[in-house]
Each structure stands twice: as C-alpha cells, then as structure tokens.
Amino acid sequence: MVRQITTMVKAQRCSWGVGDPLYEQYHDEEWGVPCRNAQALFELLILEGMQAGLSWITVLKKRRHMRRVFLDFDPSRLADLSEAHVVELLQDPGIIRHRGKLEAMRSNANAFSELGTETEAVDFFWRFVDDAPLVNRWKSIKNVPSATDTSKALSSELKRRGFKFVGPTICYAFMQSAGLVNDHVVDCFRHAGCQRSPAVRATVE
C-alpha cells in the first residue's frame, strides 16, 4: 500500500512579516500594494507618523480603534478637531496617546486638504516616483534602506507645505506601505504580486 503524503508549501515572506497574524495579514494584503485613494494615503501617512518611536505592531493593534475615533481618517473632518477633542482623545488608551502626534494629525489634515481635489492629492504623492512604483530587488531585508533621496525630497516638500512628523524615514516607510516603492525581498511571494504591470521600473540592488 502506497501512502500518499500531501505537503503544504508555506508562502515565503519577508522576515519582518512572519510570526504574528496581524503582521502576516498586513504584509500579505497591504504592504507594497499601490494605493491611489486619497483618504487611504492620508491614513497611511498619519499612521507612519504615529509609529515614530514605537513598533509597527503597536500601530496595527490600535488601528481599528483609531479609525473609529479618528473619523475614518477623513482629513476634511480632522481639520476641524477642537482642542477639547484632543484633550478627550488623550484619555483614550485605545489610541497612541501623544499630544504632539495628535496635533500634527490635525495640522496635517489641513495641509492635506490644501493639496487640492482627491485626484490632485493622489497625483501629488505619485509624481515623486513618476507615477509608477519603484521596484527594488533586495536579497535581504538588511539591504533595505531607511530613507532615500526620493523620501528626502518628499519630506522636504511636505514640510514646506506645513506637514509635521514627516521626516525622511517616516516618508520612506509611507512610500513602502503605500506601494510607491516595492521593497519586498525577491524571495518573498509578494514581490511579484505587488508589481503593477506595465509601469514597472527596476532599481539596482
């Protein structure tokens, strides 16, 4: 009698996206996927700023609740956030309680609204990569930079427009999460999956 054994091959992921169900879901379904929705881009920019000094898993665990109390990250509504509301939010353990970050979210909502229509806001970010995702071919997560000339340029322009908590490192993390750059390592099953054909431009390792 021949015994048949079925082997399930596990998907190869970037090393940082392994071990926690939240991380794995975020890695598999969101990170590096090109985003062209204005409100979603605003949310990612705010969340990356919220993450400063903390681990990303902390943000992921609090994200659902933050979406609820931060009005679905609607910049037009957050721009009118009152001081009393900020004080109230600082008492909520379900969010990242940091006055500077909350006040930055409010000022960033105003600055984001100044980018123009939703289409104009999306175009603003994507023009930094010539409207096509930058596709890197890293063999190891150790090769992935924390900032690039492009993220420095984006950071500089955002600051000029009144944004806060948008340093080059935060901006690069935003670019990665929003799919402006594909930094999945080449062995990761999402490296190919995130590429948006036909506008793909490879960079050197």
* Catalytic residue ranges: 26, 48, 56
List of long-range contacts for 39-42, beta carbons under 8 Å, 24+ apart? 39/72, 39/73, 39/74, 39/75, 39/118, 40/178, 41/121, 41/122, 41/125, 41/178, 42/73, 42/75, 42/108, 42/109, 42/112, 42/121
The span from the CA of 68 to the CA of 22, in Å, is: 18
Other C-beta atoms lying within 10 Å of the C-beta of residue 60? 17
**Cα separations (Å) of 158 from 4, 115, 128, 137, 153?**
59, 10, 12, 28, 9
The span from the CA of 90 to the CA of 134, in Å, is: 38
4 three-class SS: coil
**N residues, the chain:** 205
**Cα separations (Å) of 151 from 71, 156, 180, 197?**
28, 8, 10, 23
